Structure 1
């Protein structure tokens, strides 16, 4: 068998480029090829192993760098966590303080709002009470207006209403001593009011008239004919009233030349002066002045000023008489002072004389006390003045 193998190896098995290739050469070529393939595979493995080693080293370096980076990041994260913790604590404290302050302010605001609300509610309750009282007063006034309407529907009650309003105006402005209601004149007529003027001047007559029916008809007229009829009625009523006041209450020497016809309604007065100027002029010529409540109040104030001026004049007269008496007393006092001054001058001269006599008496007394008796035989011996030797 070995011989066969040797023979096979020595026997040419192929021809390549004209050269016989034996089996041994073929086997060697195959072996070389196998060895080359094996070497190439080993080299590839070695290269791959080296590359793997290089990759492992690079990965290790990267892992090391990554570890270091992770450690640094961990440290930074720890530092940041500490910083965030401190800031969170500060922020928590600040928020807590702000919340406490906000809670306190909110509480104070709520208390203040509660107080304001209570005050507003109490004020609202008071206003509601006032409103309720006003409503009750309005209801009562409504009833009174209804009753007033019923009163004004009656002519006598209407006259009493006008007279009462006039009396209220006069009584509020003047003292009771200067006016008389329902005074009786010399002709037996009784005006509603007579005001006494100062210094014995004639009195001022005031009489109240209330032409409500004619005015109401004028206001209620719907067409020109009805309005003309109502206007004619109002003009006629006012002329009757003016004539009655002029004929009854203007008495020469007893009353003023002018009397007041009081109309207790501003609206009626305005209509009369706006639309019935002829009636107003006739009243002026008759010595009657038509007045409303406001004009009567103004006229009463003028009368009050006149009365005050009269009182001032009377007071001035009394002051002048007192000043004259004072001057007379002053003259008498001056005369008495002059007489007293003369008495004092005479007394002063008497006192000077007395003082002179007193000085003489004193000097004489001094000389008498200075006399020394001489020594002699008897008690009747002569004396001498001490220091002079001369007898006195």
Structure 2
């Protein structure tokens, strides 16, 4: 025991002024161990409480989780019901939508087929019309080719002076022959001076004839056209001077050869066979037109010649009307006499109609009297007391007829009643 106390009292170290012994160390260690034990107990207690709280929390959480699970199950059931309802609704709606889409597709297919049919029909009709138009175009192209050949022939004709003169003269003759009667004109007639104009139109009432000349210097005109296409201003000027000179010579020749006092009119026609040449002369060669007017020569185109021929035709008709005026007057007088006789006969016929009307009225009066007598006879009443015939009583008045029994009396009305 003493050894133990001694051992416990043995110093282990010096801490400041205090000497630390083994007992002190063991006491400190015991205190530390006790503190550790207390700390561990407290920790275990806390841990127990924590576990209890955790268990309670877990139980509470489990209860809440179970409640939530029940609620979730209920919601899931409701959701499943709603989903089933929605699926059913969607199914019916999808069926309706499919049906509507199918109907619309069928209708659209029908309309598309009809449209395609109509479009095909329209296309066939358009193609048929196009073929017809192409046929017309082919025909027109053939006509154009034929016309082109005729134009080439016309160009060949116009390139020759003799044939060109025949072309202008034939055109002038066609216009005159279409507008006037056969005895009102003469082609290539011989005048008193021996000259022969292309046409001589005979005027009415012994008036002098009208001369129409169909010659035209077309070479100079073609030279102007050629100079305008290939040559310069000097060439055009030279060609214009040559054309003006040829026209002046031609105007002078017509005035000297065909204007004869008392035999022909004081004015003659110079026929230009083209409207374009006529317009070009009046537009660019005004001096030639004035010179022709002074020489009493009128430059005419085909349209102006046709108009002049129509005026002459009207004058001829008026002259013929005046020549036949006395015949017309006699016919009118005889016509008035016929009208007078017709009026007299109509008046007689009217008198016959009046007499016939009076006779008809008298006939209607007689028929009315007969009808009235028939109605009176129909209204009589016959007695049925005794059978027997009806006879006239000799002693009765002329206006009464009685039956043998006297049961029936018939009164005869006078014809004037």
Helix, strand or coil at the partner of 1:318: helix
- Once residues 159 and 314 of structure 2 are traced to their aligned partners in structure 1, the CA distance between those partners, rounded to angstroms, is 38
Helix, strand or coil at the partner of 1:290: strand
Query: For residues 112 and 199 of structure 1, do their structure 2 counterparts lie closer, same or farther at Cα, with a shift above 3 Å needed?
Result: farther
Q: Flag structure 1 segments of 5+ consecutive residues without an equivalent.
A: 1-13, 338-392
Query: For residues 47 and 244 of structure 1, do their structure 2 counterparts lie closer, same or farther at Cα, with a shift above 3 Å needed?
Result: same
Name the counterpart of 1:257. Answer: 266
- Once residues 36 and 274 of structure 2 are traced to their aligned partners in structure 1, the CA distance between those partners, rounded to angstroms, is 154
- Once residues 252 and 184 of structure 2 are traced to their aligned partners in structure 1, the CA distance between those partners, rounded to angstroms, is 26
- Once residues 102 and 86 of structure 1 are traced to their aligned partners in structure 2, the CA distance between those partners, rounded to angstroms, is 23
**Residue 117 of structure 1: CA displacement?**
2.0
- Residues 122-161 of structure 1 aligned to structure 2 (within 5 Å): 122-161=128-167
Name the counterpart of 1:297. Answer: 306
- Once residues 125 and 321 of structure 2 are traced to their aligned partners in structure 1, the CA distance between those partners, rounded to angstroms, is 55
**Residue 61 of structure 1: CA displacement?**
0.6
Most deviating of 263-272 and 245-254: 245-254
Scaled by the length of structure 1, what TM-score is found? 0.68
Name the counterpart of 1:374. Answer: none
Aligned counterpart in structure 1 of residue 318 of structure 2, from 306, 309, 323: 309
Helix, strand or coil at the partner of 2:216: coil
- Residues 72-221 of structure 1 aligned to structure 2 (within 5 Å): 72-221=78-227
**Residue 167 of structure 1: CA displacement?**
2.0
**Residue 313 of structure 1: CA displacement?**
4.0
- Once residues 231 and 208 of structure 1 are traced to their aligned partners in structure 2, the CA distance between those partners, rounded to angstroms, is 21
Is it true that 1:242 corresponds to 2:212 in the alignment?
no
- Once residues 111 and 317 of structure 2 are traced to their aligned partners in structure 1, the CA distance between those partners, rounded to angstroms, is 67
**Residue 330 of structure 1: CA displacement?**
7.9
**Residue 38 of structure 1: CA displacement?**
7.1
Query: For residues 310 and 113 of structure 1, do their structure 2 counterparts lie closer, same or farther at Cα, with a shift above 3 Å needed?
Result: farther
**Residue 35 of structure 1: CA displacement?**
8.7
- Once residues 93 and 180 of structure 2 are traced to their aligned partners in structure 1, the CA distance between those partners, rounded to angstroms, is 89
Most deviating of 154-163 and 204-213: 204-213
Is it true that 1:51 corresponds to 2:60 in the alignment?
no
Most deviating of 89-98 and 242-251: 242-251
Query: For residues 134 and 327 of structure 1, do their structure 2 counterparts lie closer, same or farther at Cα, with a shift above 3 Å needed?
Result: closer
Name the counterpart of 1:358. Answer: none
1:100-147 Cα shifts (integer Å, max 9, x gaps): 222222222222222222222222223333333333333333332222
Q: Flag structure 2 segments of 5+ consecutive residues without an equivalent.
A: 1-22, 346-417
Helix, strand or coil at the partner of 1:180: strand
Q: How many pairs does the alignment contain? A: 316
Please, what is the CA RMSD of the aligned residues? 3.7
1:2-57 Cα shifts (integer Å, max 9, x gaps): xxxxxxxxxxxx99xx9xx9xxxx99x99999998877665554443333222221
- Once residues 228 and 33 of structure 1 are traced to their aligned partners in structure 2, the CA distance between those partners, rounded to angstroms, is 144
